A and B are shown apart, each in its own frame.
Chain A
Amino acid sequence: MTPLLSVQGLSKRYGAHIGCADVSFDLYPGEVMGIVGESGSGKSTLLNCMAGHLAPDTGQVVFDTRADGPQDTVTMSEPARRMLSRTDWAFVHQHARDGLRMGVSAGGNVGERLMAVGARHYGDIRGKATDWLERVEIDAARVDDRPTTFSGGMQQRLQIARNLVTGPRLVFMDEPTGGLDVSVQARLLDLLRGLVRDMGLSAIIVTHDLAVVRLLADRLMVMKSGHVVEAGLTDQVLDDPQHPYSQLLVSSVLQV
């Protein structure tokens, strides 16, 4: 089986400071991988390098493209990479306003990716947008409202709909539940789990919330100071952590 994403020796430095160092792993279709670590551990740098937002210093990010099989997205042309990022890839930002067009209606936000890949039938675009609003539990009657009138949880769900409408195969998520209150988080996690299963999505989720990875992620990487210190099955890493830092991280969580 070909990995959907194969990361090899990925490193990124900021001058003398290490962003992430020599990260390698394979992600297979349908797998959800969590990346945890404290603030500044390099998990967001790693995510941005993989998603093409940052250029890594060394290493490969090989994606199994539909048309041409495995391709290194670091060295592929920018048009090809940007095409990937609006078709097969999706990126869910921590802050919905980074991932939404706040001056455009909910329907326009969801429809943008469709129009970006050539959809030119208004009725079809609107129909798909409405369908996706319902899938993320937003009342279809809100299709013409701007996201500025939405609550934080709704904005985040709208961002997810906007990302998933083109049927991507790989979703990058940066703290998708950060900044939401607990009940809203639970609803979002439930939604994400359902979408991941129903669409057979692969996902890489960066978070510092261990409860999020336990619910969503099949696999876990623990990062510290730019290095991956431990990787494995999510429940194995959380229940039987081997590395001193992982043990500290797990034991630091308050029991509820």
Chain B
Amino acid sequence: MTDQAYNFAYLDEQTKRMIRRAILKGLAIPGYQVPFASREMPMPYGWGTGGVQVSAAVLTPADTFKVIDQGADDTTNAVSIRTFFERVAAVKTTTVTADATVIQTRHRIPEEPLTEGQILVYQVPIPEPLRFLEPRESETRKMHSLEEYGLMHVKLYEDISRHGHIATSYAYPVNVEGRYVMDPSPIPKFDNPKLNDMAAIQLFGAGREQRIYALPPYTQVVSLDFDDHPFEASKANHCCGLCGSADSYLDEVIVDDAGGRMFVCSDTDYCEARQAAGYKGKDAA
């Protein structure tokens, strides 16, 4: 039952139409940042206002919605956004990746491969990958339009010169279809290969920066690198302490005051599903 004080999914229909136009344009020009008139949302900037507006614009009453924050369904941010849409859109919600039709995410891509018909909505803090080296918006727009991306490699060069390797471990820049350089939002670079050739639609919303960009299904996405320092999708060199998975992205959890720690899957749904199927890690109770 929708809260009657609000239109379906909180935003009014004209606003959703405006956002859908931006999304369609973004899908037509993969990786290109489309400006949109971001609305004030009932949550602070930095809590996913961009993602929430994109979700609001694409949700239909028949959808099943899932929200993850750093891979987890049960953190404050994920719970509050999920509750928000339960209240203003009355959509079904789920924590099961395969059951969801729309997944809003902060900083992760689910471990389980997404399928055609699903939509992955990313929350983006800073959409401009060139921002830290070129503060002028007028100039970065020109650089995108003219494909002047040398500066992006300067950032990676600086990484190697300072750390001996490319130390950028999240928000790792990618090139989309050989054209636009894109910030994939602060997902770990472990997830970068999943961006490529994904069957689901990927939408990126930056509320404060008022930008939407998108990757249609099966888009070629290549992580930038050097010939002698190739891109590597790295993760902690451990297995999940709970489900034993050797292939998933892990969080390091401090478990006591003596510095005891364990590594567990950041994707809670993936981990729980494996445990339910009988897989056990070394720390499992």
Contacts and interface: CB of A to CB of B under 8 A. Distances in A.
Interface of A: 78-79, 82, 86, 101, 103-105, 107-108, 111-117, 120-123, 125-126, 143-144
Given A112-B151, A113-B150, A125 B162 contact: no
A82 B157 contact: no
A126 B160 CA distance: 10
A82 B146 contact: yes
Contacts of A86: 148, 150
A206 B228 CA distance: 41
B148 A105 contact: no
Interface of B: 133, 146, 148-151, 153-154, 157-158, 160-162, 225-229
Given A105-B158, A108-B161, A115-B150, 10 more contacts: A103-B133, A105-B162, A108-B154, A114-B150, A115-B153, A120-B153, A120-B225, A120-B227, A122-B157, A122-B226
B10 to A, nearest CB: 40
B146 A122 contact: no
5 shortest interchain CB distances as A-B pairs? A116-B150, A115-B153, A115-B150, A122-B226, A121-B227
Nearest to B156: A122
Contacts of B160: 122
B157 A125 contact: yes
A122 B154 contact: no
A144 B159 CA distance: 11
A2 to B, nearest CB: 28
A108 B158 contact: yes
Nearest to B226: A122
B157 A116 contact: no
A143 B157 CA distance: 12
Contacts of B153: 115, 120
A115 B161 contact: no
B162 to A, nearest CB: 7
Among B157, B158, B226, the most chain A Cβ lie within 10 Å of the Cβ of B157
